[in-house]
């Protein structure tokens, strides 16, 4: 005998259930696109990991100078 779906899965009313169903359909459509294009998850992960490492290296090169507000006439910036 099958159990009835809980509110946690499908929501407590028809609108929430409809939203959940639409979300599931969108996920299925995305999976169909991924399968049709022979998407290579491993290659994509390696590419994104490489890009992330490069971005981290670029970020390490960024130097931010703190302005001297008194020289710039912004003494009010230093008031506490």
Give me the domain span that covers residue 39. 15-73
Asked, for residue 5, whether it belongs to a domain, the answer is no
Asked, for residue 6, whether it belongs to a domain, the answer is no
Q: So what's the pLDDT on residue 17?
A: 77
Distance CA 37, CA 34 (A): 5
Q: So what's the pLDDT on residue 56?
A: 95
Asked, for residue 78, whether it belongs to a domain, the answer is no
Average confidence (pLDDT) per 10 residues, the chain, 80 residues: 57 77 92 87 94 94 82 68
Report the domain count for the chain.
1
Q: What DSSP letter does each residue of 1-27 carry, written as one string?
A: -PPPPPHHHH-SSHHHHHHHHHHHHHH
Distance CA 33, CA 44 (A): 15
Asked, for residue 9, whether it belongs to a domain, the answer is no
pTM assigned to the model: 0.42
């Amino acid at each position: 005998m099958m159990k009835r779906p809980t509110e946690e899965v499908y929501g407590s009313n028809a609108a929430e259930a409809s939203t959940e169903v639409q979300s599931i359909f969108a996920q299925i459509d995305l999976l169909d696109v991924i399968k049709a294009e022979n998407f290579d998850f491993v290659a994509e992960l390696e590419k994104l990991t490489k890009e992330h490492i490069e971005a981290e290296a670029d970020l390490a090169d960024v130097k931010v100078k703190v302005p001297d507000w008194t020289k710039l006439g912004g003494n009010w910036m230093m008031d506490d």
